[in-house]
Structure 1
């Protein structure tokens, strides 16, 4: 009997609570929300590609000489100016060759002076018919040989002087030293890179684009560049488009000039968004993007959703699948199309079934 009484009491309480909740829901004031109207969230067709920032002007510093490095006035991260001395290489062998070249020049000069005097004297004798034609020809041949010997000695000296330039290596451009491949005391060899210098004032993004999208990209096309580390968005312009994928694993290299490279560093990873707007013409290679603000997302555990509006002006939580970030925007892959409205912000706490009114 007691159990029956308790059951009746509990049933009455539950009916009373349900009625109260229903009355509270009916009497609740609508929550004012801001809505993104249909079509405003579509950025059009696009393709995106990942890559990194690189210096547009970058050089590897090397030498044509073999010898020990006697001086290394360069460190990674150091700012250098064009013409600044960076590396010195032992020049003992070049100095010895220079001495030999000077001795050969002196000898060749002496031979040239003697042969010239003899040729001038026999020329006068020939004019006075005191020397034969053969004697004059012999003197002319000695003179020309001596002149050729002097020219060869001077050329050797010039070669030695040119090699001197590679014993004192200077910076070819102004920039920052980003890599160092040798140290003082190491043996340098011809063609071996010693340093890398990059000019950070001109950066560009290098990305790989698939064959489905490469034909849709044009030189000079404006693009959006998003830094993956900070989600900072900057503008860029397509500068170079590779027409071959033989050396890039079946994808095509695209280089994008960065409009503002202040506070950016070479090597930063980026995502480049290429817009394809074609005045209503639809191409199967296009991907229709739905971009919404990150602030409109609702996260519950591992699920991500966005509030939409029902026909009864109530909030409906819609689960969506998100893609890549583009600054303060995020790509929606499924769960919401470009023709649907969604709630951006609300002046109150939203929940499924909450009454809403738009601003």
Structure 2
């Protein structure tokens, strides 16, 4: 019995020893692995380049028609003819709508008859005046009657003309708002009319930019309806004053619109182009860390045969697309980290993986000044 127990304890002791040895070996392997230095993080790099820079002043604006009205009638009447279709292009002076004017035409004939009678009386009295058969007062009275008759004829002709609604300028019509046979009171809305070529874009810029603005300056715009298209125009007018609420200066730019792509009311992103500047240092926007304490980048340096990074404070300027102008803190040819900055610290060794469309190390060395 004792021998059996001894054998059992011996076997258990051997199993425990084997398990302990196995665990010890695993711990030693883990210690060896973690004691090895971590591989340097891989980052993408960009080279600071000097190029010709065309700065712009960005703003948002609204497209407006050069001429735009809601046509209405000056005199009341019933619609006799509608001579247009919604959305069509019309010429200046084209008749769009005719109100009923039969009664006015009949009244005009009567007034013209009265005018002719007054003219006959005046001619007869002037002839009799030579023979002293009538007094000068009779001639003056008939002359006044003729003038009155002529005035009534002109007034009636004006009323008849107002019953023919014409396009005050060339443009495109909107949606018709009247129907045939409808009675229109004075001032009733008939149809919108917009002149769409050219068009204006109204926008505003901060007052600090006023000294950089001038009439005729090139302006570019984009609209949501045509995201891949760039519209070109120029400043036509700069407001004489500054808005006290926003401290902005109002600006109006003129754009050619032959294909009628720009429509009144569109939201537009506007860029006012400034004179080009030579040898401006630029960096991709993603290379810069923007914060309230200043902008910074991770500068790539070679030290003791190792590629390391150091945080460098810089001063940035204007932004154009994905590029940012660098005013201070870097020189042409410097390399900075463009991706992977979050995991970096000062003096840390790195491995560089060139980003797409970025120069490699050889190109960077060639670009670095002597």
- Distance, in Å, in 2 between the alignment partners of 1:247 and 1:109 is 65
Q: Distance in 1 between matches of 2:81 and 2:172?
A: 19
Query: Is contact 2:197-2:257 (8 Å) kept?
Result: no
The 3-state SS of whatever aligns with 2:272 is: strand
Normalised to the residue count of structure 2, the TM-score between the two structures is 0.64
Provide the residue aligned with 2:300 in structure 1: 310
Q: Which residue of 2 aligns with 1:6?
A: 23
In the alignment, which residue of structure 2 is the partner of 1:172?
168
| CA contact 2:48–2:336 (8 Å) conserved in 1 | no
Moved more, 188-197 or 156-165: 188-197
1:20-71, CA deviations, whole angstroms, 9 ceiling, x for partnerless residues?
984xx79x9x98x7x4534549654x53221122222334433322223333
Q: 1:36 to 1:75 in 2, by over 3 A?
A: farther
Structure 1 pair 345/248, CA: closer, same or farther in 2 (3 Å)?
A: closer
Paired with 1:194 and 1:291, the residues of 2 have a C-alpha distance of 56
1:87 deviates by 1.2
Structure 1 residues 51 and 316 mapped into 2: Cα distance closer, same or farther (>3 Å)? farther
Paired position in structure 2 for 1:126: none
Residue number in structure 2 paired with 1:198: 194
Query: Which residues of 2 match residues 1-359 of structure 1 at below 5 A?
Result: 1=17, 2=19, 5-6=22-23, 8-9=25-26, 11-12=28-29, 15-16=32-33, 22=39, 35=46, 37-40=48-51, 43-44=54-55, 46-120=56-130, 122=131, 135=132, 138-178=134-174, 180-214=176-210, 216-229=212-225, 230=227, 232-244=229-241, 251-258=248-255, 262=259, 264-266=261-263, 267-275=265-273, 292=284, 310-312=300-302, 329-330=321-322, 337=326, 353-356=350-353, 357-358=360-361, 359=363
- Residues 251-279 of structure 1 show CA distances to partners (whole Å, capped at 9, x for unaligned) of 44311112566462213211222345598
> RMSD across aligned C-alpha pairs, in angstroms?
4.6
Cα deviation, 1:119-162, whole Å, max 9, x if unaligned, reads 24x1xxxxxxxxxxxx55x4333223223322321232122222
**Is the radius of gyration larger for structure 1 or structure 2?**
2
Cα distance in 2 for residues equivalent to 1:38 and 1:171: 57
CA contact (8 A) 1:68 1:89 kept: yes
Deviation at 1:190, TM superposition (A): 4.3
CA distance 1:70–1:208, change in 2 (3 Å): farther
Contact 1:226–1:272 (CA<8 Å) still a contact in 2? yes
| Structure 1 residue 232: Cα displacement | 3.4
Residue of structure 1 in register with 2:11 after alignment: none
Question: Aligned partners of 2:24 and 2:215: how far apart in 1?
Answer: 78
2:146 is paired with a residue whose SS is helix
Q: Distance in 1 between matches of 2:61 and 2:89?
A: 26
Contact 1:241 1:254 in 2 (8 A): yes
CA distance in 2, matches of 1:325, 1:71: 58
8 A Cα contact 1:50 1:207, kept in partner: yes
- Relative to structure 1, is the Cα distance of residues 4 and 271 closer, same or farther in structure 2, using a 3 angstrom cutoff? farther
CA distance in 1, matches of 2:283, 2:59: 16
TM-score, structure 1 normalization: 0.66
Residue correspondences, number: 308
Secondary structure of the equivalent of 2:200? Answer: strand
Gap regions ≥5 residues in structure 1: 123-134, 281-287, 299-305, 319-323
Q: 1:263, 1:99 → 2: CA distance? A: 46
Cα drift, residue 310 of structure 1: 2.0
> Given that residues 81 and 174 in structure 1 are in contact (C-alpha distance below 8 angstroms), is that contact kept between their aligned partners in structure 2?
yes
